[in-house]
Structure 1
Amino acid sequence: MSQTNLSRRSLLVSALACLGPGAAHGFIASSDGKSLLGTSGRPLIDLQKQAPGLGTPPRDQITTELAPEPEPAPSAPLPADHVQVSMRNAHTAEELLVRFHPVNGRLVPEHPDTLDHFLRDWRRNRVIPIDPFVTGSLALVVREARRLGWSGTVQINSGYRTPETNAALRRKGIGAARNSLHLTGQAIDFVLPGVPPRRIGALARQLLPGGIGTYASFVHIDSGRRRSWQG
């Protein structure tokens, strides 16, 4: 077979490969007039090898334009009876966003375990369940403060205290009560930045049935009996 015939045959193979192996079988023949299909009917020429790139490329080489990601749906507005409270731990700088929803006339945190951990004794890294009455009381104060124009992040000074932590604070003369309700997870000391503690304390006394202590730099609330004092 001459080089000219081979060149023409190669061109023909390449051209017909574009139509697929099935189309080539009916048209390609050798120079001696014999069919390029063997006696079994199977092709003697592998068109994928003879003309690479003309067949279907491997899957990982197929390129398509990526569809644009859908825009996130707008978040649903918070129901009027829900309260969302942003908190920051004054000692650890941890931050937490908590949503409260009403249950039997009280505001209850949606994820109490997360809030329990946030209000843990950070000095000892100890966690106990925090009384939902006192966390709900905090949410009530925040909701009313917002209604009066305040906005911001609540600063948490103290939540749960272990007996060891409470005793250490007493030795330092900080004024922790021997039987403090912090020991049972029933008290929170907090600040609303920008609002004097005396005003927060006055607001809490209007809203809450538990204990309210007003100090120079923070306010104490608890789920004990109704009482009020100045620290």
Structure 2
Amino acid sequence: MNHQKKISRRVFALGMASAGVCDAASPLINLSKKHSSLVDFSNKGELFPKEYDGSLLGETSWYYDPEPELRRYDVSKQSTTSQKKYKPKRNFELIMTNANTGEQIIEQLRVDTFSYGINYNKLDHFLRDWRENKTIKMSKRVVDILLQISERSLGDNTSLAVRITSGYRTRKTNSYLRRFSKNVAENSLHIKGQAIDFTIDNLPHKKLNNIAKEHAFGGLGVYDNFIHIDSGPFRRWNS
């Protein structure tokens, strides 16, 4: 009887260990679900785990953002094109979802209303560092670039779904990501609230890239499943 109990306990322990391995090997995000969350908060897990599966930071990961260090570029390469304050040319609904947490906000852009329905303070909170729950005054320039690209991507629709993969990052978060990929810029413009990574649902990625090239006056990085825009010097790169 005691021998059977020992075997049962061993089987149970092995089963629990195997379950952990299977869970770690599961995809980071299920693309079949439009607004699924990358992070499971059900167990109030550690947001800065000491051990992390570096393979999740691979070339096709949401987190992989090899933004070039600004020190590699000189001032002469900055854009001389002035960016006017964004004003919508048509009324539309912008549905933004944080791909990491599932949080969602809806902005109603209006041509004939005060501030055009753009609530920058609300967007500052939405684009916060979700790991530390800290906000910063986001660059209105980069937010306006996002809005311009969004409006241009509408086509004949009156509503658009945008998934934000990264907005503001604290230095702690940025340093944490650099532990798993040194391609994450040490002086990332995400730290200054001057960069946003996103994708648009139901829009071919190639089309999004072409639209972004027309409106991204600063930096533009093109990846397999999202794009990076920032309000820094003019530059282009891809994964």
Q: Tell me, yes or no, whether TM beats 0.5.
A: yes
Provide TM-score, normalisation by structure 1.
0.58
Query: What is the letter of the counterpart of residue 155 of structure 1?
Result: R
How far is 1:199 from its partner? 2.8
- 2:226 is aligned, of 203, 218, 221, to 218
How far is 1:100 from its partner? 4.7
**Distance (whole Å) between structure 1 residues aligned to residue 203 and residue 234 of structure 2:** 23
How far is 1:211 from its partner? 0.7
Q: Is 1:126 the equivalent of 2:144? A: no
Q: 1:216 to 1:195 in 2, by over 3 A?
A: same
Query: What is the letter of the counterpart of residue 188 of structure 1?
Result: I
Give the fraction of aligned pairs with identical amino acids, expressed as a percent: 38
- 2:207 is aligned, of 175, 199, 205, to 199
Q: Is 1:90 the equivalent of 2:95? A: no
Of stretches 164-173 and 196-205 in structure 1, the one that deviates more from structure 2 is: 196-205
Q: CA RMSD in A?
A: 2.5
Query: What is the letter of the counterpart of residue 159 of structure 1?
Result: G
Q: 1:100 to 1:176 in 2, by over 3 A?
A: farther
Matched with 1:188 is 196
How far is 1:143 from its partner? 0.7
Matched with 2:166 is 158
Matched with 1:14 is none
**Distance (whole Å) between structure 2 residues aligned to residue 226 and residue 122 of structure 1:** 28
1:44-92 residue CA offsets vs partner (Å, 9 max, x unmatched): xxxxxxxxxxxxxxxxxxxxxxxxxxxxxxxxxxx84455421000011
**Is this contact kept in 1: 2:97–2:104, CA < 8 A?**
yes
- 1:177 is aligned, of 181, 185, 190, to 185
**Distance (whole Å) between structure 1 residues aligned to residue 177 and residue 99 of structure 2:** 16
Unpaired stretches in structure 2, ≥5 consecutive residues: 1-87
Matched with 2:19 is none
**Distance (whole Å) between structure 2 residues aligned to residue 196 and residue 127 of structure 1:** 31
How far is 1:110 from its partner? 2.6
**Distance (whole Å) between structure 1 residues aligned to residue 116 and residue 228 of structure 2:** 19
| SS of residue in 1 equivalent to 2:175 | helix
Query: What is the letter of the counterpart of residue 100 of structure 2?
Result: H
**Is this contact kept in 2: 1:141–1:203, CA < 8 A?**
yes
Unpaired stretches in structure 1, ≥5 consecutive residues: 1-78
**Distance (whole Å) between structure 1 residues aligned to residue 117 and residue 221 of structure 2:** 23
**Is this contact kept in 2: 1:108–1:136, CA < 8 A?**
no
**Distance (whole Å) between structure 2 residues aligned to residue 141 and residue 222 of structure 1:** 13
| SS of residue in 1 equivalent to 2:186 | coil
Of stretches 180-189 and 194-203 in structure 1, the one that deviates more from structure 2 is: 194-203
Query: What is the letter of the counterpart of residue 209 of structure 2?
Result: G
Matched with 1:146 is 154
**Distance (whole Å) between structure 1 residues aligned to residue 213 and residue 94 of structure 2:** 20
How far is 1:208 from its partner? 2.3
Q: Is 1:137 the equivalent of 2:145? A: yes
Q: 1:165 to 1:224 in 2, by over 3 A?
A: same
How far is 1:147 from its partner? 2.5
Paired residues for 1:10-29 under 5 Å: none
Query: What is the letter of the counterpart of residue 164 of structure 2?
Result: I
| SS of residue in 2 equivalent to 1:136 | helix
Q: Report how many aligned residue pairs link the two structures.
A: 150
Provide TM-score, normalisation by structure 2.
0.57
